[in-house]
Amino acid sequence: MNAPAKVVNLLQAYRIVVYRRALHPELFKVRNRITIAHADYEFEGWVMPGSHVMRFQHGASSVSELLTEQESGLPERGVAAAFPCAGERDHEQDFGGKLKYVTTVQTETLSENLYLATYRELYEFAREVDAAAHTWTDSDGGRCLSFLDVQRYRKEIHAQAYHLIASGGLVVRSQSIFEHA
């Protein structure tokens, strides 16, 4: 069974863009956020419908991750890497020995029944862990969910992001680690 063209196009549009700088919230439709101020670093995560931005800063060094399906109008200054999310991807990058960034992203399309079960399970998980979450209804009337689950450690942040798009049963998962020296 072939995926409908709309789903294939959406899946192919998703990508991660890594920046060597902070991004500004006015560029995005932020629906929820999480901030962590630790002795040695700051972390901020923004949740938007079907996308997110995460920023990790230690001193004057900063790295930001943008996961989006948006194809145009994105900041170009400070791009360190960009890659598609389709399938499974891994990326690791060192920022001058001061910051390290590692991510894994996976995408899949689920049948309607499996999507609904996954939605319910992840919705409950997001509530249990008090994740920064946003729910909405897509143009086809399906329930969608985006959320960030973040764990703080002494020198690093571990962040898991989930984006469930009902139209086509699309699920995008990423796991990122931001670490300072």
pLDDT confidence band for 2 (50 / 70 / 90): very low
CA distance 113 to 118: 9
Q: What residues does each domain of the chain span? A: 5-180
Over residues 110-127, mean pLDDT = 97
pLDDT computed for residue 72 by the predictor: 87
pLDDT confidence band for 147 (50 / 70 / 90): very high
- The backbone torsions φ and ψ at residue 121, rounded to the nearest 5 degrees and listed phi first, read -65, -45
Beta strands in the chain (DSSP E): 15-19, 32-37, 42-48, 51-58, 61-68, 79-84, 88-95, 99-109, 132-137, 143-152, 156-165, 170-180
CB 86 within 8 A of CB 80: no
**pLDDT at residue 85 greater than cutoff 90:** yes
pLDDT tens for residues 43-75? Answer: 999 999 999 999 999 999 999 999 999 988 899
CA distance 31 to 47: 6
**pLDDT at residue 14 greater than cutoff 90:** yes
CA distance 58 to 43: 9
Amino acid at 71: E
Q: Which of 11, 32, 98, 93 is nearest to 61 (CA)?
A: 98
Task: Note the pTM of the prediction, 2 decimals.
Answer: 0.93
- The backbone torsions φ and ψ at residue 147, rounded to the nearest 5 degrees and listed phi first, read -155, 155
Amino acid at 78: G
Residue scoring higher pLDDT (117 or 5): 117
Please work out, in degrees rounded to the nearest 5, the angle formed at the alpha carbon of residue 80 by the alpha carbons of 74 and 81: 80
- Rounded to 10 degrees, the C-alpha dihedral 30/107/63/149 comes to 60
CA distance 142 to 127: 20
